[in-house]
Amino acid sequence: MPEPATRPRVVVIGGGFAGLFAARRLAHGPVEVSVVDDTGVHLFQPLLYQCATGLLSEGQITAPLRRLFRRHANVTTLLAKATGIDPALRTVTAVRPDGTELHIDYDYLLVAAGVEQSYFGHDEFAPHAPGMKSIDDALSIRRRVLGAFEMAETLPTTEQRRPWLTFALVGAGPTGVELAGQIHELATHTLRREFRTIDPAEARVLLFDGGAAPLASFGTKLSDGATHTLQRLGVELHLHTTVTHVDAAGLQVSTAGGSSQRIDARTVLWTAGVAAPPLASAIARATGTGQDRTGRLTVQPDLSLAGHPTIYVAGDVMSLDKLPGVAEVAMQSGLHAAGQILGQIQHGRTTGTRFRYRNLGSAAYISRGQAVVQAGPLRMSGTPAWLVWGLIHIGFLTGYRNRAGALLSWLTTLTLASRRELVFPRRDLDTGDEAFTGTHPPGGPASSPHTDDTP
Ligand SMILES: Cc1cc2nc3c(=O)[nH]c(=O)nc-3n(C[C@H](O)[C@H](O)[C@H](O)COP(=O)(O)OP(=O)(O)OC[C@H]3O[C@@H](n4cnc5c(N)ncnc54)[C@H](O)[C@@H]3O)c2cc1C
């Protein structure tokens, strides 16, 4: 085995499912690995909505990358945001947390930077309708949801309280459905006896989607079941409906029939679309790689970039055979890309092996006792699916302590209807604004274009 100094250097951009699984495999090879991530943690995104609604803590759904690789001396973790690459010099340019620039040399590169929330060209909606991609997003949502109940409790009239007790969710995919179910559960179980002026159970949860059904990717039978469950819970489904405007006080929607409606809702949450991060475009320009409609990088069947056999792409940011942006694709593609890199280094392979995705199925939580699961020909819903959903998520959560902690939190919530993580930051994490007033503290960051929210 070569000495460490002469070992090939592999840079992995992103420590999500694709980057983590790749780096774990590379850690056992004769290489020096640098994992560059702009958060420094591996985040289990499928449980973000439970963190946002106070069921799980930030710590229970994350694991510091540095800690995960503490036993692998050949893996270095760097907290930095990659901004571009120079394929001729084989260098990644990144920005440190203090804004200074950093250059990292590589022999092999794996891009696994995931995707970002997309507002379909309406980025002006973002300050009023946080997406759900990061811990910051989850805490912002927690602040808005719990803060809305607090605001309503202080207001004298039903008319004034109503917009604060109206929660509008955009996007009826798994994340929107899961979030709707959790907000409903929060209102009807967790907060039931904790307020004196308002009845939290009177909260309205509205779910908007331009398509014909919630959880459409699960097929007609499970989607119909999800519609039935959501309606039974009291979640108001608005299908064939497009959101045309969002501001601090609510949203404007238009239906397929052409009618337009204004809805007063002080909490609007966005779970509708994704787009590749700016880094993908920078890499596309530097390498001459194509991008799909959402900006994801088009890869060769072996996951390398055409004409660049030392650069690989894995996970959500790769575009190949219309594969979905799900955790299984990310994990399997990360492992495959790492295998290709090690194959070149250890066995001198020059031709790549095609990536073949094994679809192990998918699952979505709707409410307590209700979930949907599909795996091959198997379709499940109701309590059995809910149990399977729990097993899958505990199984994939990173770290034994996180698994034990999540299990304990779930059992406590089920038996006592209480949630531990109900603390929320007073300031908006995105804008720095003081909660609910739209004003920013002296010395704080400039205010986003909020209207004055003061009641
Ligand atoms: C709310 C939510 C719920 C989901 N639920 C499910 C589910 O139930 N089942 C399922 O299969 N999938 C689910 N998914 C999708 C799944 O989480 C993703 O497919 C998966 O996380 C993709 O892994 P990835 O490694 O490609 O990207 P990510 O997990 O997004 O990781 C990318 C990493 O790269 C970092 N990064 C980004 N840009 C840079 C940069 N420029 N420089 C350095 N670092 C960077 C990010 O901070 C992040 O750590 C869900 C996603 C979300 C958001």
Least confident of 74-78, 98-102, 308-312, 412-416: 412-416
**Which of the two residues, 45 and 257, has the higher pLDDT score?**
45
Q: What is the pLDDT at residue 161?
A: 97
405 lines ligand 1 (CB under 6 A): no
Helix, coil or strand: residue 166: strand
DSSP 398: S
Does residue 100 have a pLDDT over 80?
A: yes
Does residue 448 have a pLDDT over 70?
A: no
Average pLDDT, the chain: 91
Q: Please, which contacts does 260-266 make with residues 24 or more away whose CB atoms are closer than 8 Å?
A: 263/166, 263/168, 263/206, 264/162, 264/163, 264/166, 265/163, 265/166, 265/167, 265/168, 265/206, 266/144, 266/148, 266/151, 266/163, 266/164, 266/166, 266/453
pLDDT band at 246 (very low <50, low <70, confident <90, very high): very high
Residue ID of nearest Cα to ligand 1 atom 8: 46
326 lines ligand 1 (CB under 6 A): yes
Q: What is the pLDDT at residue 427?
A: 74
- pTM of the complete model: 0.91
Handedness of CA 243, 115, 130, 393 (dihedral sign): positive
Q: What is the pLDDT at residue 433?
A: 64
Structure tokens at 302: 């072996």
Q: What is the pLDDT at residue 416?
A: 82
CA separation for the pair 380, 196 (Å, rounded): 40
Q: Is 421 in contact with 438 (CB distance < 8 Å)?
A: no
Q: At 184, which amino acid appears? A: H
Structure tokens at 450: 């909020």
| For the chain, percent of residues with pLDDT exceeding 70 | 93
Half-sphere exposure of 427 (CA within 13 A, CB side): 14
The minimum-distance atom of ligand 1 relative to the CA of 39 is 47
CATH of the domain spanning 123-272+361-416? 3.50.50.100
CA separation for the pair 38, 19 (Å, rounded): 13
CA separation for the pair 434, 440 (Å, rounded): 5
Q: What is the pLDDT at residue 440?
A: 44
Q: What is the pLDDT at residue 306?
A: 97
Q: Which is the catalytic residue, given 32, 116, 178, 421?
A: 178
Handedness of CA 252, 257, 259, 264 (dihedral sign): negative
Does residue 286 have a pLDDT over 90?
A: yes
For the chain, the domains span: 9-38+80-115+276-347, 123-272+361-416
The mean per-residue pLDDT over the stretch 89-105 comes to: 98
Helix, coil or strand: residue 125: helix
Q: What is the DSSP string of 5-61?
A: GGSPEEEEE--SHHHHHHHHHHTTSSSEEEEEESSSEEE-GGGHHHHHTTSS-TGGG
pLDDT in tens, 319-366: 999 999 999 999 999 999 999 999 999 998 888 999 999 998 888 888
Question: How many angstroms separate the alpha carbon of residue 249 from the centre of ligand 1?
Answer: 30
Does residue 442 have a pLDDT over 50?
A: no
174 lines ligand 1 (CB under 6 A): yes
- 174-185 vs 220-233: helix crossing angle, rounded to 10: 20
CB contact set of 56 (below 8 Å; sequence gap of 6+): 47, 50, 405, 406, 409, 421
**Which of the two residues, 63 and 362, has the higher pLDDT score?**
63
pLDDT band at 275 (very low <50, low <70, confident <90, very high): very high
Q: What is the pLDDT at residue 388?
A: 92
CB contact set of 283 (below 8 Å; sequence gap of 6+): 84, 85, 111, 289, 297, 305, 311
Say if 9-38+80-115+276-347 and 123-272+361-416 have the same CATH topology: yes
Residue ID of nearest Cα to ligand 1 atom 19: 326
Q: What is the pLDDT at residue 398?
A: 86
279 lines ligand 1 (CB under 6 A): yes
Structure tokens at 112: 């696994």
178 lines ligand 1 (CB under 6 A): no
pLDDT band at 413 (very low <50, low <70, confident <90, very high): confident
CATH architecture entry for 9-38+80-115+276-347: 3-Layer(bba) Sandwich (3.50)
**φ and ψ at residue 213, rounded to 5 degrees:** -160, 155
